[in-house]
Structure 1
Amino acid sequence: QTNQELSQHRALKTREKQQNNRVRHKTTVQYATRPDLPRLAYRKLKGKGPGVVFLPGYASNMGGLKAEALEEFCRSLGHSYLRFDYTGCGASEGQMDVLYVLDELVDGPQILVGSSMGGWLMLLAALARPEKIAALVGIATAADHFVTAFNSLPIETKKEIEEKGSWSFPTRHNEEGSYTMSLDFLKEAENHCVLQSPIPRDGDVPWHVSMQVAERVLSKDVDVILRKHAQHRMSEKDDIKLMVYTIDDLIDKLTTLV
């Protein structure tokens, strides 16, 4: 074998070892049992604070690329990390409950990382539990998205949805090519809007929403990072690198302040 072939072989073995280590060290699924409420599935990594909590997007779960990458990152720093399935999604049952995670499953202030709809829930959680929040990182934050998108539909279409009891709309993010949302979900969402003025939207959430969110956050310590060619889910390798580097800087800043 040539030196180049030997180097390639060693590199391959190193990658395989790293992959095996990731599988071996992967956190196990746990279930929180709550009186009169459905079970909630989560994976928890113990470590120092501030901890990180990942909130996935609509129809997503804790097994996504961003959620997995954040666990590896937090493990490398020794920080605690929790990712979970909204009840009604993934391995959980029933209705969504982010506040339960903050109240019962983590200790001390947390860095909330919310993707798409998770960013909307992240903002609502911060309003409800400010003492539990160390910082917020929104990834294509879909604040008020479903409500505004539904309200922008023609009257005839809205009537059809109300009669049917559900709304199906196109998406590029699953094999079926569409998501279906219940009318009950939409009506409940109307009670939890965080932005006041109507915002133009296309199929996904445009970058203007991030600017709207930044304008409404009272803190002066707010950064908006725009990636011109990134897709809504921000799941490409370079997107995940940006997310990890951003949280790395944030943790460094928070621990330095302490």
Structure 2
Amino acid sequence: MALPGAARLLWRERLPWRPAVALRTGLGFPQLMGRRQKSSPSFLNRTDLPKLAYHKLKGKNPGVVYLAGLFSNMNGEKALALEDYCKSVGHAFVRFDYRGCGSSDGNIKESTLGKWRKDVLSILDELTQGPQILVGASLGGWLMLHAAIARPEKVAALVGIAVAADHFVATFQQLPVEVKKEIEEKGEWRLPTKHNEEGVYSVPYELIQEAENHCVLTSPLPIKCPVRLIHGLKDEDVPWQISMKVAERVVGADVDVILRKGGGHRMKEKEDIKLIVYTVEDLIEQLST
């Protein structure tokens, strides 16, 4: 698959230890991912909209904002590792929960992609100052693309982790007509998953229907900032080819696709998280020079 301009495809099977973080911070990577004391989130109050729970570190720019995946929250390993890294180097960081998820207000059954897009923009507008690096996992990767288009003056770079742009819309459209009709009648799509005890995600039909208005892979993406797309070849939820499609659609030339031979969808193994942190570190260096 040809990539546009200066976009590059990087293959990562095993990530060698790189001492940059340790040298700059005096910490080794295990310490960056160490145990932490739980703290209560702050809340962003919005007129006539659900309050959003968040954790924020003040620091230098570019700041980093983490966007979680579908039905996930801000307390995952990737978000916490990035927060620890940003704290160690003195850069600003924000992690938060979409409405209806985690500690935020709102009903998950009434949430839509368009509403979550508004949540992301509220976080950018109200809680960040100056250029930001958005790190989006799965659905968060889809939302970060929307944010980069809507706020080009604030979004300085993107890091996508198993970006799920348009994915569940395309998957739904491929279902047999009778199955789609049944989902419409029941009002939910019970999507099989290995990531919770129930073994399924209950996706509201309204969410699927509304998300069709926010598909991004049908035309060029007017994004010119640096983009890094990390995807596992063993991802059983979102095909790695979607990251390739995103790379093709982004109009900017500074685009890298990094394929992890042993990586799964959540990219939460120690070596996976190292790669994510190092990718953010490289972008901070690039944007700070």
**TM over 0.5, shorter chain:** yes
User: Equivalent of 1:143, from 165, 169, 174?
Assistant: 165
1:117 correspondence with 2:150: no
- Alignment-derived partner of residue 100 in structure 1: 122
- Alignment-derived partner of residue 191 in structure 1: 213
Report the Cα distance in structure 2 between the residues aligned to 1:214 and 1:73, rounded to whole angstroms.
27
Q: Secondary structure at the match of 1:112?
A: strand
Deviation string, structure 1 residues 165-197 (Cα, Å, up to 9, x no partner): 110010011111100011111111010000128
1:46 correspondence with 2:68: no
Report the Cα distance in structure 2 between the residues aligned to 1:78 and 1:28, rounded to whole angstroms.
21
Report the Cα distance in structure 1 between the residues aligned to 2:209 and 2:36, rounded to whole angstroms.
41
1:180 correspondence with 2:202: yes
Deviation string, structure 1 residues 27-51 (Cα, Å, up to 9, x no partner): 6410011111111000001100000
- Alignment-derived partner of residue 247 in structure 1: 280
Deviation at 1:93, TM superposition (A): 1.5
Report the Cα distance in structure 2 between the residues aligned to 1:253 and 1:28, rounded to whole angstroms.
33
CA contact (8 A) 1:27 1:44 kept: no
Name the amino acid aligned to 1:220.
A
- Alignment-derived partner of residue 30 in structure 1: 42
Report the Cα distance in structure 2 between the residues aligned to 1:234 and 1:23, rounded to whole angstroms.
21
User: Equivalent of 2:76, from 64, 86, 89?
Assistant: 64
User: Please, what is the CA RMSD of the aligned residues?
Assistant: 2.2
1:214 correspondence with 2:250: no
Q: Percent identity?
A: 64
- Alignment-derived partner of residue 153 in structure 2: 131
State TM-score, norm by structure 1. 0.87
- Alignment-derived partner of residue 152 in structure 1: 174
| Structure number with higher relative contact order (C-alpha < 8 Å, ≥ 6 residues apart) | 2
Deviation string, structure 1 residues 70-126 (Cα, Å, up to 9, x no partner): 000001110000000011100002242111011111111110000000000000111
Report the Cα distance in structure 1 between the residues aligned to 2:211 and 2:240, rounded to whole angstroms.
21
- Alignment-derived partner of residue 168 in structure 1: 190
Change (3 A) 1:240 1:113: same
- Alignment-derived partner of residue 4 in structure 1: none
Unaligned runs of 5+ in 2: 1-26, 220-234
Aligned residues: 237
Report the Cα distance in structure 2 between the residues aligned to 1:23 and 1:221, rounded to whole angstroms.
36
Report the Cα distance in structure 1 between the residues aligned to 2:176 and 2:243, rounded to whole angstroms.
26
Name the amino acid aligned to 2:170.
T
Deviation at 1:23, TM superposition (A): 2.5
CA contact (8 A) 1:27 1:45 kept: no
Unaligned runs of 5+ in 1: 1-13
CA contact (8 A) 1:171 1:203 kept: no
Name the amino acid aligned to 2:75.
G
CA contact (8 A) 2:131 2:153 kept: yes
Deviation at 1:134, TM superposition (A): 0.5
CA contact (8 A) 1:57 1:114 kept: yes
Change (3 A) 1:203 1:237: closer
